C-alpha cells in the first residue's frame, strides 16, 4: 500500500467568470480569416468550444479569493486557521507588490504567510510541492494553494490565440493531518533551460508567443513526467484512478492521449469548455470532477504539467 506524507487535500473550490465567450464573437474580430501556418502548428484545430472571459472586476486576485472561500467551505476550515497562502499566477503579475497577500486578505486568511509562485502552466504543481515542503518543517499546518489566471490578457486581440485562452481560478485546501493513508505521495518539478525559447512572453506588451517545437516537447515531457512518477513509486496502470494533465493546446492533448500507455478513459480534462487556463487548469479539473462525483475519496490521482521557462513535473496523491 502506498504511504503518503499525511498532507491531505481536504477541500476544493473554483471561480469562473460571468462571461462565457463563444467562438462566433472571436471570429467576428479576427484580423485574418485563415490561421497562419505557424499558429496552426501550435493551435491545431483549436478544440475549444467556449471559454470564460474575466471582466475588469474579475481580477486574478478577486477570482483567487472567491475560489478560496469555496474551498474553505468544502473543507470545513475557518479562514483564520490557514497559515500558508500560495498564489500561482503569471498572467497578471507586477514587479511589486505580490498579489498573494491581497487575495489572502480578500479571502479572510490574513493570518497566513502569503506569497506568489510562478512557473507558468506548471505553477499549481509547484504550489502543491511548496506546501508539502513547508509542512515538512512542522511549523505549518493548513495551506491554500490557488491557481488564478487571466490568460486572455496575454493573447493578441483579434488573433487565433484568443480561442484557446481561458480565465479562471481554482483552489485546494491542504492540511498536515498525519494520516498516511491519504494525501500527497510524491511530487517533482524539473527545469529545462535549453527549451526557454519555445514559448515566450516579453515585456512590455506581454503577449504570449509559442513556436512549433512546443508541441513535441510539451507532450513528450508530459508523458515523461507520468512515466517517471509511476516508476519511482512502483505504480501500475491499474493502480491509477485518474490522470489530470495540464492541457496546453489540443495538439498537445491529442499527442499525449495517442502515445500514453495508460487507458485514455482515465484522463480527466475540461479543455473544450475552458481552454488553457494555465496554473488554474489542473485545479479547475480537480474541483469540477470532485463536485460532480467523478473523483471520490480514496482514489489515486496523477497530475502532470509543463510550463514556460521551461518546466515539467507532476504530483501524486490519494484523495
Whose grid coordinates read 508567443?
A: 209
Mean pLDDT of 266-291: 97
Q: How do residues 82-132 score in pLDDT, each as one tens digit?
A: 999 999 999 998 889 999 999 999 999 999 999 999 999 999 999 999 999
Say what the pLDDT of residue 191 is.
Answer: 98
Q: Please give the residue that has the higher pLDDT: either 93 or 16.
A: 16
Q: How do residues 184-241 score in pLDDT, each as one tens digit?
A: 999 999 999 999 999 999 987 899 999 999 999 999 999 999 999 999 999 999 999 9
- Say which CATH superfamily domain 1-319 falls into: Thiolase/Chalcone synthase (3.40.47.10)
Q: How do residues 122-179 score in pLDDT, each as one tens digit?
A: 999 999 999 999 999 999 999 999 999 999 999 998 899 999 999 999 999 999 999 9
pTM of the model: 0.96
- Domain parsing of the chain, residue ranges: 1-319
Mean pLDDT of 266-288: 97
Mean pLDDT of 233-260: 96
Amino acid at each position: 500500500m502506498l504511504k503518503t506524507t499525511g498532507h491531505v487535500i481536504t477541500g476544493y473550490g473554483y471561480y469562473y467568470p460571468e462571461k462565457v465567450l463563444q467562438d462566433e464573437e472571436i471570429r467576428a474580430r479576427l484580423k485574418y480569416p485563415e490561421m497562419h501556418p505557424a499558429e496552426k502548428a501550435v493551435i491545431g484545430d483549436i478544440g475549444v468550444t467556449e471559454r470564460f472571459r474575466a471582466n475588469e472586476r474579475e481580477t486574478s486576485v478577486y477570482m483567487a479569493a472567491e475560489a478560496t472561500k469555496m474551498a474553505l467551505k468544502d473543507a470545513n476550515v475557518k479562514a483564520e486557521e490557514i497559515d500558508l497562502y500560495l498564489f500561482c499566477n503569471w498572467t497578471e503579475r507586477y514587479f511589486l507588490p505580490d498579489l498573494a497577500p491581497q487575495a489572502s486578505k480578500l479571502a479572510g486568511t490574513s493570518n497566513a504567510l502569503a506569497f506568489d509562485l510562478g512557473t507558468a502552466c506548471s505553477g499549481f504543481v509547484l504550489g502543491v510541492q511548496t506546501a508539502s515542503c513547508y509542512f515538512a518543517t512542522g511549523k505549518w499546518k493548513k495551506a491554500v494553494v490557488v491557481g488564478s489566471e487571466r490568460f486572455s490578457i496575454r493573447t493578441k486581440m483579434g488573433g487565433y490565440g484568443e480561442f484557446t485562452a481561458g480565465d479562471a481560478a481554482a483552489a485546494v485546501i491542504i492540511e498536515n493531518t498525519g494520516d498516511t493513508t491519504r494525501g500527497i505521495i510524491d511530487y517533482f518539478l524539473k527545469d529545462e533551460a535549453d527549451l526557454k525559447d519555445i514559448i515566450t512572453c516579453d515585456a512590455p506588451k506581454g503577449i504570449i508567443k509559442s513556436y512549433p517545437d512546443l508541441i513535441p516537447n510539451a507532450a513528450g515531457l508530459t508523458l515523461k513526467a507520468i512515466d517517471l512518477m509511476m516508476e519511482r513509486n512502483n505504480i501500475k496502470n491499474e493502480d491509477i484512478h485518474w490522470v489530470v494533465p495540464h492541457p496546453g493546446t489540443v495538439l498537445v492533448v491529442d499527442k499525449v492521449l495517442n502515445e500514453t500507455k495508460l487507458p485514455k478513459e482515465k484522463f480527466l480534462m475540461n479543455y473544450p469548455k475552458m481552454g488553457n487556463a494555465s496554473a488554474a487548469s489542473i485545479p479547475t479539473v480537480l474541483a469540477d470532477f470532485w463536485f460532480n462525483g467523478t473523483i471520490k475519496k480514496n482514489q489515486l490521482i496523477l497530475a502532470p504539467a509543463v510550463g514556460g521557462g521551461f518546466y515539467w513535473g507532476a504530483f501524486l496523491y490519494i484523495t
